[in-house]
Chains A and B, each alone.
Chain A
Amino acid sequence: MPGTTLSEDLQQTHGRGGAGDSGGDGGDSGGPGIPAVPQRAYITGMSVALAGILMFFMALTSAFIVRKGISLDWQPFALPKILWLNTAILLASSWTILRARKFFRLGDMPNFSHWWNVTTAMGLFFLAGQLLAWRQLAAAGVFLASSPSNSFFYVLTAAHGLHLLGGIVALLFVGLRWQHQTHLTPATATEVVSIYWHFMDGLWVFLFLLLYLGR
């Protein structure tokens, strides 16, 4: 499973399940005596969610391959150059979030916040860049229904963009310390969000390759 690298001492795991011991206090339903939801459940939940998201994108990918394979109306088109820059920004943001996590583990909160916010900003830059790519295509007369290749471009970038927007909201959530209102520890919150962020990054690289090689 991804994301089990975080040192155990930072994870406030309450052992339930399997042969563990019974839990601590402060569970989701509130009140004393209720075993807390173990922090690893959030990691499990995120991994499971990513499996569902992956199936969604794999369905679109298989539709892309089938639709391209059977049709005579597939018109290749030049991808906007800015997508290369966007890709570089998103790849770099995976590196900045790694740095943020490293400072978090060292307990260096100012540096953690700095790199975390840099990651958030880069996510916003990526989204702005994607919108710019759409504007450029529209200016060139390439719209959603122009050709199946264009349809898939817009559908895949939009679906990925919406998922990434969710990631930015999650980054802000942790960046503004809002996770204190939930049962996630800061360690779990940063881990869960960064798993999602890396996944969205990898997913984009995959989609970009698909769009580039399959255009």
Chain B
Amino acid sequence: MSSHEHAVHVAPTPSGFIRKYIFSVDHKVIGIQYILLALTAVVIGIVLSLLMRFHLVWPGAKFPSWMISGGVMTPEQYLSLVTMHGTLMVFFVLTTAPQSGFGNYFLPIQIGAPDMAFPRINMLSFWFTFLAFVVMVAAFFVPGGAPISGWTAYPPLSGLGQVTGPGEGLGQDLWIISIAIFSGASLMGALNFIATTIDLRAPGLSLMRLPLTAWAWFITAILGLLAFGVLLAAGILLLLDRMAGTSFFIPAGLVVTDVVQKGHAGGSPLLWQHLFWFFGHPEVYIAVLPGMGVASHILSTFSRKPVFGYRAMVYAMSSIGFLGFMVWGHHMFVSGMSPYSAIAFSVLTMSIGVPSAIKTFNWLGTLWGGKIRFTSAMLFAIGFVSLFVSGGLSGLFLAQPAIDLYFHDTYFVVGHFHLIMGVAAIFGIFAATYFWFPKMYGRMMNEGLGKLHFWITFVGVYCIFMPMHYLGVVGNPRRYSDFSANHFLAPLYSIHLFITIAAIVTAAAQLFFILNYFWSMKKGPKAPDNPWNATTLEWTTSTPPPHDNFGGHYPSVYRGPYEFSVPGAAEDFIPQHLTPDQVGKAK
């Protein structure tokens, strides 16, 4: 223990179920609430994707009518699945679990603080997120069903109301309202993360001694702070176009199903695209940066080596965050933008390859020559690096306007963003779960099941998303619900069938994870305080941590976060809170 500790009482835990587990202000409870919300959303999201994959290869298949009204899926129903799958996954899984979930639980503990800076705002941001989730899911159950305009909600399709299709009535309204609520929640969360990281660090914990996870959460919070306000503004304008008859995004003279649309004039659908992608591109990094932090953290711990190039990692993450705000135009190469703008966006986009390559080299450098322990967490962290590289390489193609004009709206794009943003971030979540589960619940997860889960998932996601690049190269468009009438796509059927089978197997393998999670929570072997012999502060407190995180004994920090295999030290790891005197006689 540190020399700064205070011999005092442990803070009382709130009593009563409601204050303790429902409207809790404890960041650990809120973190778990976020994680369980994300788990619910991901299950729905996976079911939606399976329904889509079924329909693509068996377009005439009859579904039970409680699942797909009418039995056989219509193209509009398919589009509503596309929309809700993307929305639930991007907002309620990829934004919620890695940042709000694990960040909430571990940021205060990793920096030696008793809680977030503003616990009540923290509780509010969870309940706003939950409300947003309820409003979003409600869109399934209103007349017309869920919206069909995709997770990007491009006007004019999203701005005209019921006339543009089922789901574009109340369903689209609920979608926009949900996203507005979610934006508010994310802004409150970002505020809390930033203030906590700046002002609540333990004595001695300078910025350059922060674990890379804390750095990732900090940078992600800054991205969220600057991005979600823009999405909120855009959402309000879109809602006014729909409800109040304004024309921010809706031009005149639109003809929908042979009827001229009146009442709007002069609006610009491209204005929405600019506002949306100014949020949307940083959102990609909001999803994946926490995974980068987790991967660095875990690769170092299980290689028993310091992170290779710690400062370079910090600067690389910062520059990825910074550049992320200047590349939104690469989503709009086909919008008719000036080729000069396109070149600027293209060069900036490809320049993100530089910090990304630095990170990849440093991850490999961390592994190089290490005494590697292949735990489930480590496997998923290595899997993250693999997916990040595979998904990133196809990004270099899409970053070039001339090539993107061809690839735009094909399966090449679907394969690209699922690998780098979707599955890579999910692997970050899995790695974080296997790594921190013992600390969160006081019990170990089953490593055998974890490894089985890893191998099926790792091979499975490559089987799903790699062939999509080929589909895109031969010109298979995305968002089509049925290819059977397209002569030139007929030879691709067997590839789609392969992808669907891979998707079913991969989805089924997630049952191993869910089983492992809830079984281990109750029945797993008891976890010691520091099962991985790790160095950062979350492993210095008891398992699971008490209500005030450190039982009244707040640590001071004397060293960097990744002091593994220090020559001459008694053990191959030196926790951050040990004084120079204590190092020789560490337990």
Q: 18 A-B residue contacts at CB 8 Å?
A: A31-B10, A33-B8, A34-B552, A37-B199, A37-B200, A41-B199, A48-B191, A48-B225, A49-B187, A51-B225, A53-B229, A56-B232, A58-B230, A67-B248, A67-B268, A72-B266, A73-B266, A144-B246
- The verdict on A44 contacting B271 (CB below 8 Å), with A19-B206, A22-B556, A34-B114 known, is no
Asked if B117 and A37 make an inter-chain contact with CB atoms under 8 angstroms apart, the answer reads yes
Interface status of A18 (Cβ within 8 A of chain B) = yes
Asked if B275 and A73 make an inter-chain contact with CB atoms under 8 angstroms apart, the answer reads no
Interface status of A106 (Cβ within 8 A of chain B) = no
Asked if A31 and B265 make an inter-chain contact with CB atoms under 8 angstroms apart, the answer reads no
Contacts of B233 in A (CB 8 A): 56-57, 59-60, 63
Chain A positions 2 through 41: 1 when the CB is less than 8 Å from some CB of chain B, otherwise 0? 0000000000000111111111000111111111011011
Interface status of B201 (Cβ within 8 A of chain A) = yes
Interface size of B by CB at 8 A reads 61
Please indicate which of the listed interface residues B9, B10, B548 has the most CB atoms of chain A within 10 Å of its own CB: B548
Asked if A151 and B248 make an inter-chain contact with CB atoms under 8 angstroms apart, the answer reads yes
Quick one: which of B26, B194, B199, B244 contacts A40, CB cutoff 8 A? B199
Which residues of chain A have a CB within 8 Å of any CB of chain B? 15-23, 27-35, 37-38, 40-41, 44-45, 48-49, 51-60, 62-63, 66-67, 70-74, 144-145, 148, 151, 155, 159
**Which residues of chain B from 192 to 240 have any CB-CB distance to chain A below 8 Å in the complex?**
192, 194-196, 198-206, 225-230, 232-234, 236-237, 240
- A92 vs chain B, min Cβ distance (A): 29
- B182 vs chain A, min Cβ distance (A): 14
Asked if A52 and B225 make an inter-chain contact with CB atoms under 8 angstroms apart, the answer reads yes
- Closest A-B pairs by Cβ, 6 of them: A33-B8, A31-B11, A56-B229, A33-B552, A59-B233, A55-B229
- B26 vs chain A, min Cβ distance (A): 8
Interface status of B113 (Cβ within 8 A of chain A) = yes
Quick one: which of B11, B204, B271 contacts A33, CB cutoff 8 A? B11
Asked if B547 and A29 make an inter-chain contact with CB atoms under 8 angstroms apart, the answer reads yes
Quick one: which of B198, B271, B548 contacts A66, CB cutoff 8 A? B271
Complex Cα spacing A111 to B206, Å: 42
Contacts of A33 in B (CB 8 A): 6, 8-11, 548, 552
Complex Cα spacing A73 to B247, Å: 10
Complex Cα spacing A28 to B14, Å: 13
- The verdict on A19 contacting B204 (CB below 8 Å), with A28-B115, A55-B230 known, is yes
Quick one: which of A56, A60, A63, A145 contacts B247, CB cutoff 8 A? A145
Quick one: which of A27, A38, A74, A151 contacts B240, CB cutoff 8 A? A151
Asked if A63 and B552 make an inter-chain contact with CB atoms under 8 angstroms apart, the answer reads no
Contacts of B190 in A (CB 8 A): 48, 52
Interface status of B267 (Cβ within 8 A of chain A) = yes
Complex Cα spacing A21 to B557, Å: 11
- The verdict on A22 contacting B4 (CB below 8 Å), with A59-B230, A59-B234, A151-B240 known, is yes
Complex Cα spacing A18 to B206, Å: 5
Complex Cα spacing A29 to B12, Å: 9
Complex Cα spacing A51 to B187, Å: 10
Contacts of A66 in B (CB 8 A): 268, 271, 274
Smallest CB-CB separation from A41: which chain B residue? B199
**Which residues of chain B from 1 to 37 have any CB-CB distance to chain A below 8 Å in the complex?**
4, 6, 8-12, 25-26
Smallest CB-CB separation from B237: which chain A residue? A63
Complex Cα spacing A55 to B117, Å: 23
Asked if A45 and B115 make an inter-chain contact with CB atoms under 8 angstroms apart, the answer reads no
Asked if A32 and B267 make an inter-chain contact with CB atoms under 8 angstroms apart, the answer reads no
Complex Cα spacing A59 to B271, Å: 11
- The verdict on A29 contacting B554 (CB below 8 Å), with A59-B229, A71-B266 known, is no
Contacts of B70 in A (CB 8 A): none
- B390 vs chain A, min Cβ distance (A): 33
- A33 vs chain B, min Cβ distance (A): 3
15 new A-B contacts, CB < 8 A, other than A22-B203, A33-B10, are A16-B200, A17-B205, A21-B203, A28-B115, A33-B6, A33-B11, A41-B118, A52-B190, A53-B229, A55-B229, A66-B271, A67-B267, A67-B271, A70-B268, A72-B266
